[in-house]
Amino acid sequence: MEEVLEANEVVSANDHVRGTTQRRIMHYLSDRQQRVYPDLKGMCERVSDGYRDRVVIELLQNAHDAHEANSTDGRIKIILDPKDGPFGSLTVANDGIGFAPKNLEALCSPTLTTKNVNEAIGNKGVGFLSVFQVSAFPEIYSRLPGSSGRGFDGYCFRFADDASITDFLHEEGLGGGADDVIANMPRLYLAWPAEEHPSTVERLASEGFATAVRLPLKNADSLSAVKQQVAQLAQGNPPVQLFLSRIAELTVETPGIPGKPLVLTRRCKVLQQHEGFRLLRIRCSETSFITAERTIPHAAALAVIEVDVEGERLPESWRSWEGDAIISLAVAADSEPVDGRLYNFLPMGADAEAPFDGYLDAPFFASIDRLKLQSGVDLNEFFLTARGA
């Protein structure tokens, strides 16, 4: 296990995971009357419920964001194995950057994120909570950034089950606090090193992936829900990969189910380019789209954001907006016109209709589940009309 720098000390990834969880448990046990932990647990459960039907999409989003911002050839693999465990498992892998200490802190803290506004798809810091809808004890396996070898040699941990928490507290002579910790602390705060790697994870490591998120599914309803969400990816209506500019390939494997793996590809060719505008031909598997990209200068976007923040229509964090905004309009190149849909990098809900027979993508301010635009936000109207570009 390679070493990482944490709090001016050199510690292993395992020790960082273990130490972070130990400090949180000890803080709670030092004053069990404090409300912050049970309140956070309740908040996590409510937010997770709001993502009920978006687990696969949220993991896909995180996998895309893990790649370098200028990447165009990234890979994502989704494996849904109904025979892996009592109710099957869902694993999503990417060959992006890998986990660093800041990623552990962000993943294990509700609302904290390493992503600035407009830097990536996800920046609210709450999307990972969706996994707890279908998996009680998610697992993360990763290599350290810059690691040259194959294999998950960095942050490998799972969110501890009740037995692991109880064993740890007994080892510390605090066994009497186990029931309180389990009842009142958010599971997101209870990461624990994963010493063993399942066979699927080992295979993904050998294929050169940087990170794998594995969800042992918790019941038959979870398996059914995930099957349905994976099936929606295959339909390609609308194409999920159209505006995922950092990847070239998304593979979906379903071991034990007849048929070849589904491979969704993305290829992009620049047809025209001049200042603030690009015309692209994007091929999503067998379907091509002509896409027009317009750049909205940073200053123009920030001016509208400032008005929305002052009017309390956008959160304060949006003042940290970085870079220019990109608005993309895509229409079918060689097939019948498509039903209009808005994108926020990924397709929004069926009711989020674009005002033409095509797809419109922009860094909109959307509902927490990204299914619809938040109403009354000037920035959304600004992007829809591209005023001031």
Q: Where are the domains of the chain?
A: 3-235, 266-385
> pLDDT at position 235, please?
82
Q: Would you state the torsion angle of the CA atoms of residues 303, 309, 310, 316, taken in this order, to the nearest 10 degrees?
A: -120
Helix (H) or strand (E) holding 377: none
What is residue 183's predicted lDDT score, i.e. its pLDDT?
92
What does the pLDDT read at residue 8? Answer: 47
Q: Which among 350, 346, 353 has a CA at the least distance from the CA of 120?
A: 346
Structure tokens at 99: 């986990």
Query: Which pLDDT belongs to residue 234?
Result: 81
CATH class assigned to 3-235: alpha beta
What's the pLDDT score for residue 200?
95
State whether the Cα torsion 59-61-67-73 is positive or negative: positive
CA distances from 284 to 3, 129, 256, 336, 348 (A): 40, 29, 27, 15, 18
- The per-residue pLDDT string of the chain (389 residues; one tens digit each, 9 = 90 and over) reads 444 444 445 578 999 999 999 999 999 999 888 888 888 888 777 776 666 678 898 899 999 999 998 999 999 999 999 999 999 999 999 999 988 888 888 888 766 554 556 654 444 446 688 888 899 999 999 998 877 667 899 999 999 899 988 998 888 888 888 999 999 998 889 999 998 999 999 999 999 999 999 999 999 999 999 999 998 888 888 999 999 999 999 999 998 777 789 999 999 999 999 999 999 999 999 999 999 999 999 999 999 999 999 999 999 989 999 899 999 999 999 989 999 999 999 999 999 999 999 999 999 999 877 889 999 999 999 999 874 44
C-beta neighbour count of 190 within 10 angstroms: 23
